[in-house]
Amino acid sequence: MAIVFPPDDKPAGTSAFPEHAIGTDQVTRCEPLLTPKKLVSRFLKGLPLVSPLDHSKLDNDDLKDHILRAVQKVELETQVDVFPVQRQVKLPFDRHLYQSWVHLEIANKPILSLEEMTITTADGVQIFKMPNAWVESANFQRGIINVVPISPAFAAVGVGTSAAQGGAAFLMFIGQLGWVPAYWQLKLTSGWPEKKIPIVVNELIGIYAAIDILSWLASLHSNMSVSLTADGLGQSTTTAGPQRYVTRIQDLEMQKAKLIHRIKVLTGGAIVISNV
């Protein structure tokens, strides 16, 4: 779903790759998403992408599907969105971080832009909206957000906020606490910008896709060894037999273990924290 970006959204200002760049030469460092043709030319050139068993061919649609799946794996493994994603994240109030210029860090990096930073209650009432002008975007590439309202503090006229009447009381109440869960609500866009993926990220996508394809191809080779004897008219062939499938299963088991771990991380199930 497309997003209406507010006119006052806070962009990162500098690029994430190369980090903090504001201008470059004409060297290509970013490119569109890997295409089936590029996947073959970079990783699989010269390989017959055909099953020797039933002669079924890996066509462009199949390669595209491999790329699509590789993108999802890269997103899961690296926690970097290959394509931009807008998120609504709620982070806790931590007194120490609050006193360090509201130091907040999100898991999905880099941040492309911050649309809105608010204090929103559990019932969805927005009680304070941070002026985006106060938000420091210097470390958006690392997923770090700070609020540094130095300029407004010295200005003759302050920056207006949308704090409702109840907001001040809420802030005072919060001041007595050390930690409040889901306090800051951030609406932000993370990932690589549209139409631009670092070539090294494409490289990773291609490696994931190529490993999967090579694993499939390896499992299709039926003969382990073949020998012919000319004079005695003998011939012998050793096949992998069911071992062919075992190798493929081992590859898939490894992938399965990785994915299970990453999906658990995604839902907070990989680490159990308790006070018992």
> How far, in Å, CA of 42 to CA of 32, rounded?
15
d(CA 210, CA 202): 12
Query: Taking a C-beta distance cutoff of 8 angstroms, is the pair 87, 187 a contact?
Result: yes
Contact 200, 158 (CB under 8 A): no
Question: Tokens standing for 102?
Answer: 């509201």
x-or-dash string of contact with another protein, 83-122, rule CB under 8 A: xxxx------------------------------------
- Nearest distance, CB of residue 204 and another protein, angstroms: 15
Shortest separation between residue 36's beta carbon and another protein, angstroms: 5
Per DSSP, 142 falls in state G
Nearer CB in complex with another protein: 88/239? 88
Binding status of residue 190 toward another protein by CB under 8 A: no
List the one residue out of 72, 82, 79 whose CA is nearest residue 191: 82
For another protein, which stretch binds (CB under 8 A), given 26-34, 124-132, 134-142, 211-219?
26-34
Q: To the nearest whole angstrom, how small is the minimum distance from the Cβ of residue 25 to another protein? A: 6
| Binding of residue 26 to another protein (CB under 8 A) | yes
Could you tell me whether strands 135-136 and 197-198 are parallel, antiparallel, or unpaired per DSSP bridges? unpaired
The answer to whether residue 206 forms part of the interface with another protein (CB under 8 A) is no
Could you say which of 10, 16, 44, 66 contacts another protein (CB under 8 A)?
Answer: 16
Residues 195 and 24 sit within 8 Å (Cβ to Cβ):
no
- Report the interface residues with another protein, using CB under 8 A: 2-5, 15-18, 21, 23-33, 35-37, 57, 59-61, 63-64, 67-68, 83-86, 189, 192-198
